[in-house]
């Protein structure tokens, strides 16, 4: 059901505005964003819609197609529900337009949550689009992404990087966004003409992700302190010998090698070399499985099955600890690769496909 219909059936009136934002898949460059490195996400067709009306009091009344009905107020403490995102968006918009108070809100989404496809960033961006349009305040896309990230840091509790919000706020369909997280410069690059990225959910949802995510962030900050660099973006692979702690060493190895893989993957995309791109995806997955330790048995099984059945490469996408795998395959092999993976991994399901031919 659309968010406007949900709003109407729940609040018995029309919403003042409906906006939406898309999820993203990250093609390569995982956990590099909060180390000021490189990422290569692309929008997915699935999106999240919000319909809202502003209120004259401090109440927030919400209905979500996935998470049900909730009530709170703009001054309540964070409670781990999706209203934390709403409270965060109101808080930051109030800094620009102090007259904003509570709201009624309906949310509906086709982005599977907890799958590494950025349903949270889509909620932040859709909310900021809605409030800014309603109050006639102008927030540029990059600024919106930064506010979205602050909502996560201050209201949700994930010390995330900027990739998801930048992709959701600034991405274009059928293009990969090469983002330099140090200066937020972006470059759009068309995806391969005769190859597709298939996104398959491994069947395991993300578990304990906030804690593990923040733990990885602390481990990589520790590594940059040891190496005396402002961030691991500025470290090289030969510096690794200076890190004695085996865990911190492995974490840093993943980030440094992953940044290098993103730069190489960008060249592969520009030079239409899907074979080398696929190899980089496989090395990226191995690095996340063995050095960053964010994979799961289900994710590994999907990656192995894809490679065994004719894919050029595959890797987990997003924060890890469950969620989705992105697979690169020639367009003509797409149906057989997807079918074989789904046969091999009965708990897995197909989410979507990113393809120049199929999406145009």
The residues carrying an active-site annotation are 164
Closest CB to ligand GLA among residues 103, 315: 315
Pick from 136, 126, 107: nearest CA to 169: 126
Question: Nearer Cβ to ligand GLA, position 89 or 160?
Answer: 160
CA distance 90 to 12: 23
Q: How far is the CB of 274 from ligand GLA (least distance, A)?
A: 22
Which segments of the chain does DSSP mark as H helices, in order? Answer: 3-11, 83-96, 119-134, 141-151, 163-170, 209-227, 246-270, 274-290, 297-308, 334-344, 356-359
Is residue 160 a contact point for ligand GLA (CB under 6 A)?
A: yes
Shortest Å, Cβ 293 to ligand GLA: 14
Q: Shortest gap between Cβ of 164 and ligand GLA (angstroms)?
A: 5
Q: In angstroms, rounded to a whole number, what is the distance separating the alpha carbons of residues 256 and 245?
A: 16
Among 144, 156, 163, 280, binds ligand GLA (CB under 6 A): 163
| Buried/exposed code over 224-245 (b: 16+ C-beta within 10 A; e: otherwise) | bebbebebbbbbeeebbeebee
Report the residue number, 15 or 313, with the smaller CB distance to ligand GLA.
313
CB of 64 or CB of 317, closer to ligand GLA? 317
In the list 88, 114, 318, 323, the residue contacting ligand GLA (rule: CB under 6 A) is 318
Tell me how far, at minimum, the Cβ of 167 lies from ligand GLA, in Å.
Answer: 9
156 versus 200: smaller Cβ distance to ligand GLA: 156
Site string for ligand GLA, 21-50 (x = CB under 6 A): -----x---xx-xx----------------
CA distances from 173 to 7, 25, 120, 156 (A): 28, 11, 19, 28
Give the 3-state secondary structure of residue 156. helix
Q: Which stretch binds ligand GLA (CB under 6 A): 13-21, 156-164, 218-226, 343-351?
A: 156-164
124, 85 in Cβ contact below 8 A? yes
DSSP classification of residue 28:
S
CA angle 201, 264, 283 (to 5 degrees): 45
Instruction: Pick the piece of the chain touching ligand GLA (CB under 6 A) from 70-78, 129-137, 160-168, 196-204.
Output: 160-168
Binding mask 102-141 for ligand GLA (x = CB under 6 A): ----------------------------------------
SS3 content of the chain, % helix, strand, coil (to 5): 45, 20, 30
- Best CA proximity match to 106, nearest among 26, 183, 18, 175: 18
164 binds ligand GLA (CB under 6 A): yes
Q: Please tell me whether residue 219 binds ligand GLA under the rule CB under 6 A.
A: no
Q: Find, among 131, 120, 142, the residue nearest to 51 by Cα.
A: 131
Q: Which residues contact 343 (CB under 8 A, 6 or more apart)?
A: none
Indicate the residue among 9 and 218 with the shorter CB distance to ligand GLA.
Answer: 218
Interacting residues of 218 by C-beta distance below 8 A, sequence separation 6+: none
Stretch that binds ligand GLA, among 75-83, 159-167, 270-278, 302-310 (CB under 6 A): 159-167
Q: Which of 15, 102, 161, 278 binds ligand GLA (CB under 6 A)?
A: 161
Please, what is the minimum distance in Å from the beta carbon of residue 79 to ligand GLA?
21
Residue 263 C-beta: closest distance to ligand GLA, Å: 16
| List of residues contacting ligand GLA (CB under 6 A) | 26, 30-31, 33-34, 160-161, 163-164, 318-319
């Amino acid at each position: 059901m659309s968010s406007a219909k949900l709003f109407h059936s729940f609040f018995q009136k029309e919403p003042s505005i409906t906006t939406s934002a898309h999820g993203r898949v990250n093609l390569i460059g995982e956990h590099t964003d909060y180390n000021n490195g490189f990422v290569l996400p692309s929008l997915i067709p699935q999106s999240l819609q919000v319909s809202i009306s502003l209120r004259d009091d401090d109440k927030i009344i919400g209905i979500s197609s996935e998470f049900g009905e909730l009530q709170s107020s703009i001054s309540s403490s964070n409670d781990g529900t999706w209203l934390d995102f709403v409270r965060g968006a109101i808080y930051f918009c109030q800094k620009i337009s102090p007259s904003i108070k509570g709201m009624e809100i309906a949310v509906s989404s086709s982005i599977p949550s907890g799958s590494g496809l950025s349903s949270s960033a889509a909620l932040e961006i859709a909310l900021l689009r809605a409030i800014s349009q309603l109050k006639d305040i102008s927030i540029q896309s990059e600024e919106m992404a930064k506010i979205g990230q602050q909502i996560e840091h201050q209201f949700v509790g994930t010390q995330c990087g900027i990739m998801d919000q930048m992709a959701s706020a600034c991405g274009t369909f059928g293009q990969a966004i090469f983002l330099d997280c140090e200066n937020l410069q972006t470059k759009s690059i068309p995806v391969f003409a005769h190859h597709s990225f298939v996104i398959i959910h491994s069947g395991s949802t993300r578990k304990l992700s906030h804690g593990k995510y923040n733990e990885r962030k602390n481990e990589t900050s520790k590594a940059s302190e040891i190496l005396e660099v402002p961030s691991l973006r500025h470290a090289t692979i030969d510096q690794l010998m200076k890190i004695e702690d085996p865990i911190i060493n492995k974490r840093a190895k993943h980030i440094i090698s992953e940044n290098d893989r993103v730069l190489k993957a960008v060249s592969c995309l520009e030079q239409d070399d899907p074979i080398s791109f696929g190899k980089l995806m496989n090395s990226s997955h191995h690095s996340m499985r063995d050095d960053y330790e964010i994979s799961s048995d289900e994710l590994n099984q999907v990656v192995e099955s894809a490679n065994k059945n004719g894919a050029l490469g595959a890797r987990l996408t997003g924060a890890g600890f469950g969620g989705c795998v992105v697979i690169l395959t020639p367009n003509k092999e797409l149906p057989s690769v997807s079918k074989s993976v789904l046969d091999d991994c009965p708990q897995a399901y197909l989410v979507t496909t990113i393809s120049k031919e199929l999406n145009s």
